[in-house]
Structure 1
Amino acid sequence: MTASPDLAPADRAEAGAPPAPPLPSATLGGERRGTAEQVALLLFIVVPFLALLAAVPLAWGWGVSWLDLTLMVVFYFLGVHGVTIGFHRHFTHRSFKAKRPMRVALAIAGSFAAEGPVVRWVADHRRHHKHSDAEGDPHSPWRYGETVPALVKGLFWAHLGWMFDREQTPQHVYAPDLVKDADVRRVSRQFALWTTVSLLLPPLLGGLLTWSWQGALSAFFWGSLVRIALIHHVTWSINSICHAAGRQPFLSRDRSGNVWWLAILSCGESWHNLHHADPTCARHGVDRWQLDSSARLISWFEKAGWVYDVRWPKQSRIDAKRAIPGGEDTDSGANRKENHQGSAAPNTA
């Protein structure tokens, strides 16, 4: 099977027509994940999650310092924006072009989220868009059917179970452009290095700023372990929750939905219905009050000259993709009429 790395916008579904019933996922004959990698993956999921579970009683009993919170927040949004702007909107969907130093910086920042090498991440996500909620989708929550037990099982699969599938997406098929890109390939192969840097920087800063081992350990707990767990489960929720719940104001050929309460933590990714209706759009939250910090940062990078040829949404295109012409996503409060033409910056909230 072959597939172009260029992902066309999702086909418009017939207005009012129910989504086609999904099919079980299929393997694609990619590389197989080894046992050592499976064990490492399990540790990277379980250890931060255990820290996340311990965070509440620890914060309640002993408290958490402002330094720890600051390190956790700063490194959280650095990693998440690296994924949303870099891995997702730039490398996967080509929503904008970036100069070489910016491309490398985005690849490294996304690696700080510890979600896998950039080339593998992109290949999985392009495969997801090609087969969204249908046969071949690596992480559809509708994989097992539509009954409540099947959906519960499917949500677990979409959230994290799919990552333990030994069959991997063939990178040469879904990301041949990145396989040929020397800079991106190098960062992808250095994933373990950048993950280690991501884990060690918070305790290094915590130890230096408090000049104590206790400060370093506390910063490691909050700024490394808890932060990684939060990043994982928020971004994985886009695969699971945003394909099983949420409003669908736009026409798409899958079950992607807008989940407003994830918007801030996901840096705009949870406006997922518009994204699947128009995957190459650089802005996902297109209605008033739909916070999309990733789009805001892209607009700043554009003004600085670091990125260019940004695919901002045009109002005519947005209106053409609405399930109800002239309608709005009532979760967002309104449908603002704006004229996004050419490379005009987005009006993000």
Structure 2
Amino acid sequence: MLASNLPDPQERARGLAALSLGCSLGGFGEAGSGYAYEAASLLSADEGPDSAGVVAQALAHAGDAPAATALAVRGNAAQRRQAMTAVAAGLVRHRPEEAARIAEPSIEALAERLIHLDKGNQFRHLPELAALLLAFPDVRHPDSRLREAMHLAVQRLGDATTSWHGPSMVVVTLLERLGCLSDEDAEVAASATDRWQRSLQPGEAPCAELALLAAIDGDAPGVRRHAEAARTPQDRATALFAAAAYVAGAHIPLSTDSRAGDRVIRTCLALTRARGDGTPPSPTAARQLLRSLLRSDAWTSTIPLLPALAPGALERLSTVLKSNQAGAVLTCGEARH
């Protein structure tokens, strides 16, 4: 209803694509497909890669590989890789062999780039390589080419001294904790993580990513500490959201925008979900974090978490949006439990 009332076709397409993703990930496949095709029908032939990528991802999660890949070829090389990776990750539960085939060109392109980069920069591709793990049914067992590329990138962390690449460090720390690295690579990752975290200066730390790692460790005080250390209210909200999404076991799709600020967070959340058994680590802790978000100006970031934490709240969402009574979202949801 809200998405259909947006005046701009591009915005309607993005809204319907988001709704489609929510339905598909929530187990409502028929509705997810319907919204995905409606979103695709709104795109013009010359639509930019951002909107096309979002709709392509929705089509992939609905199980339509041809339609998804047809939209994921716009933009520059980085944008195409990002969109195709999201498409492969969306298709993996429907058509695992097709997902691996779609991911193959991106894996090959990154593997080639690693060969030609100097040693000091090879590990900077770790976030992209990690996202490609999601194109395989078991993120611990990708194809041999991706394993080789990740091994090379991780080993280069051993050469790093002071020029740390924050996103790569966050990703490799997570991969080591999830058991997605070989014993040899896990040893390099653990050592590099220790040196990186000791090198962080006040104000330099990636607070959202560190809050997520603290949540994975079950360190609730650490989550709060990293969130409070954030430089802006939006950064604080992102930190709380990342931790809440993990402990709620929420489905968070990959970003289709290679420039998005939450790209690495989304990759990490998708990996933790794929590696888990489907059981939310701590819904109670997630609700506590949700309350903190609802009291902030960034309360709309709680919407992806509501299906798992407060499903009754969704029925009243349009009313809440009109009255701007954000706190009513969780109150209403809890009343229905």
State the TM-score, normalizing by the size of structure 2. Answer: 0.28
Q: State TM-score, norm by structure 1.
A: 0.28
Which has the bigger relative contact order, CA under 8 A and spacing at least 6? 1
When you count helix as a share of all residues, which structure comes out higher? Answer: 2
